[in-house]
Amino acid sequence: MHIHVGYDLAFDCPQPLPMIVMLNIHYSRASDILQPDHLHTVPAVPISAYRDLFGNWCSRLVAPAGGIRLHADALVRDSGLPDTAAPEARQHAVESLPSDTLMYLLGSRYCETDRLLAPAWAMFGHLQGWALVAAICGFVHGHVRFGYQHARVTRTAWETYNERIGVCRDFAHLALTLCRCMNIPARYCTGYLGDIGVPPDTAPMDFSGWFEAYLGDRWHVFDARHNAARIGRILIATGRDAADVAISSSFGPNTLTGFRVWTDEVAP
């Protein structure tokens, strides 16, 4: 299967605006990229790139006063298979976890493990491993009501737990925080997820948020918002939470005036 992905973003800037953007497909999918997702800007400006602490590909630029348009168009090869399940994957004792996973047990900007520790153990203390993460996803999926009108960039996992509303990032933050409370490393993921193999959504396409949990010596995909295996998930970045994988970080006043994302299966 081939998937056509891309974005077209526009920012209005009253003054020159330094920016960091995280929009490139993750290096783990490099061999699947048939048409590269090169970042283009209008007007053209110098772009430099670097890898952050999590290995994500980041681009630095300065948008001119007046505004800038960022766009890319790519073609990606995909297996066409849904997210894999591994019910036999075991949960590691904390003392046996690889050192590079330990940061994903700790609280972070949007993930208050201290506040959710008691509720997590009260609800899920009798479970372990894959069954535990699946139960957490099922709980979050049923506990939180999805709606784009509920989006708020400051909402944390604790607030999602209490307000019971949110968008995909809020579902992911709550679920991964509950996993951390139960001693399972969990990290936030952002990327493309189109309506492939499911009825089309009438809402405009957006980047999607999900999470990965570390079980059985590897990271596994989980999606508390949909709570079902999906086809055509294309990773962009991973981090402790959404603060680490923001599609754009700007250092000055600006207004997002255009936002379009696409993820479409290409007919054979």
Q: Per-domain residue ranges for the chain? A: 2-80+247-266, 94-244
d(CA 51, CA 57): 5
Q: Which of 91, 101, 176 is nearest to 130 (CA)?
A: 91
> What pLDDT, on a 0 to 100 scale, did the predictor assign at position 201?
86
Beta strands in 150-254 (DSSP E): 165-166, 186-192, 208-215, 218-222, 234-239, 248-250
Phi, psi of 42 (to 5 degrees): -130, 115
Q: Which of 123, 101, 115, 126 is nearest to 173 (CA)?
A: 115
Q: What is the pLDDT of residues 111-152, one digit of tens each?
A: 999 999 999 999 999 999 999 999 999 999 999 999 999 999
> Is residue 268 classed as helix, strand or coil in its secondary structure?
coil
> Is residue 151 classed as helix, strand or coil in its secondary structure?
coil
The class that CATH gives domain 2-80+247-266 is: mainly beta
Tell me which of 3.10.620.30, 3.40.50.2300, 1.10.3470.10, 3.40.220.10 is the CATH number of domain 94-244. 3.10.620.30
> What pLDDT, on a 0 to 100 scale, did the predictor assign at position 265?
95
Spans of the chain below 70 pLDDT:
none
d(CA 128, CA 187): 18
Here the tokens at position 100 are 């590079």
Q: What is the pLDDT of residues 172-208, one digit of tens each?
A: 999 999 999 999 999 999 999 999 999 988 888 899 9
Spell 30-49 as b/e; 16+ CB within 10 A means b: eeebeeebebebeeeeebee
> What pLDDT, on a 0 to 100 scale, did the predictor assign at position 202?
84
Residues 6+ apart with CB under 8 A from 110: 155, 156, 157, 173, 241, 242, 243
DSSP string, 68-127: EEEEEEEEEE---PBPP--TTPPPPPGGGS-GGGGGGGS-BTTB-HHHHHHHHHHHHTT-
- Cβ-based burial of 28 (10 A; exposed 0-12, middle 13-18, buried ≥19): exposed
Phi, psi of 209 (to 5 degrees): -120, 135
> What pLDDT, on a 0 to 100 scale, did the predictor assign at position 217?
97
